[in-house]
Amino acid sequence: MSEQSQARPRPAVPSRTKRFVGRRVADVHGRRSDVALLEPVPGIQQLMTWLTPSFYIDLGRPCNSACLYCAVPPHEDAQGFTPLGRVPEMIEAGRAVGCDRSILIGGEPTIYPHLNEVLNQLRRAGLERDHIIMTNGLRLAKANVAKELFEAGVDTFHISVDTSDPAIYDRLSRSTGRHAMQGKGLEAALATGANVYIYTAVTAVNAPGLPALAEWIAARAETVGREMPPWILAVIKPIGDGEKYADQLLMRPDQAVSSVRAGLGRADQLGITAGFRNIQACLAPDLVNRNIDYYLDDFSVDVQTGLRVIYSHTEYWSKPSDACGQCAHQQLCTGIYRQMALRYGEQWWSPIEARGLRKDL
């Protein structure tokens, strides 16, 4: 591992020169009215009732961690926290396309200085509960933080947990000695009685430990006396620091499939509902009903007009034209990241029949 990647990088832009610009769009997780899978997983369908239909409220890139794979690294942030006055337009855009809940994201949303007022704004807009917060869980370890968020309208905690190994945690987070705090934060979220699910960024660094992480998740739930939280294994995006440190982090498509398969297998043994993201159907046709994206209808909404527009993340994808154009999964598949195709070649992806899909859709 290079010395540069071991420590948290210095900010590229001094705080005094940061200027908020914002985004033209807000991203949306829509709920598919009719999932196209022959055998959808009931636990994943239940997870979708927690998460959709929702719109993202991006509170800015500042973060209390510095994950090696981060797609929006906080040390490259040029804008700072989102001004509180810009939040209402995101709320109205989400409501305009039928969303009834928000997803609070960052950076790290729990360090946003006006988080309570954002939840107040949502209540005043008629969106009182069912909100989701995407967090690394560190702040939740502090007394009553998780409880107060739950009482304020956060009904679902998305907690990013990448490993059960403190040394791997230190390497991926570019910090020292905070792994136990993350476990405490997870237990605090579970203890509220809220919905909780785990989101794991799968890299070459932590992939060998996925079965052990499943065991760690189960142990945390048992400690609190809660049911097993659902688990999403997301192969990392080669964007931001994920691209910068690609040599350390990325895996060949077949290696990624093998690692995720091992994690799913252990989760099944432990009674944990588990799915994945960023593995295409042609790489693992037998696992297609575990693909989280097949349960979602992702798009973006223009915050000025409230109109639905193409999903903003599409700019990162590349569909090998010949192969994908002939694939029965084309309309559901999110495609592949350009950097993956450039690094490993497009021969890994090939058209397949409608295995696992309903014929009537």
pLDDT in tens, 229-253: 999 999 999 999 999 999 999 999 9
Q: What does pTM read for this prediction?
A: 0.95
CATH code of domain 3-316: 3.20.20.70
**Whether residue 53 has a cis bond before it, omega within 30° of 0:** yes
Bridge partners of 158, per DSSP, are 134, 197
Confidence at residue 150, expressed as pLDDT on a 0 to 100 scale: 99
State residue 320's pLDDT score.
63
What backbone phi and psi angles, to 5 degrees, belong to 13? -125, 120
Residue type, 238: P
Amino acid (one-letter) located at 342: L
Q: What is the DSSP secondary-structure string of 259-307?
A: HHHHHHHHHHHHT--EEEES--GGG-GGGGGGBGGGGEEEEEEETTT--
Round to whole Å and give the CA distance between 82 and 99: 21
Token pair for 161:
């947990």
Structure tokens that stand for 167 in this block: 């040394």
* CB 61, CB 107: distance < 8 Å: yes
Provide the residue-wise pLDDT of the chain in tens; the chain has 361 residues. Answer: 444 457 888 777 677 777 777 788 889 999 888 899 999 999 999 999 999 999 999 999 999 999 999 998 888 766 899 999 999 999 999 999 999 999 999 999 999 999 999 999 999 999 999 999 999 999 999 999 999 999 999 999 999 999 999 999 999 999 999 999 999 999 999 999 999 999 999 999 999 999 999 999 999 999 999 999 999 999 999 999 999 999 999 999 999 999 999 999 999 999 999 999 999 999 999 999 999 999 999 999 998 898 888 887 776 666 666 778 899 999 899 888 989 999 999 999 999 999 999 988 6
- Other Cβ atoms less than 10 A from the Cβ of 14: the count is 9
**With contact defined as beta carbons under 8 Å apart, do 185 and 194 qualify?**
no
Token pair in block for residue 353 = 């029949």
> How far apart, in whole angstroms, are the C-alpha atoms of residue 136 and residue 239?
19
Query: Alpha helix (H) ranges present in the chain?
Result: 3-6, 42-51, 87-96, 115-124, 145-151, 166-173, 179-191, 210-224, 241-244, 246-249, 253-270, 321-325, 338-344
Q: What is the dihedral of CA 70, 72, 77, 83, to 10 degrees?
A: -130
From the list 66, 153, 45, 148, the residue with the least C-alpha distance to 104 is 153
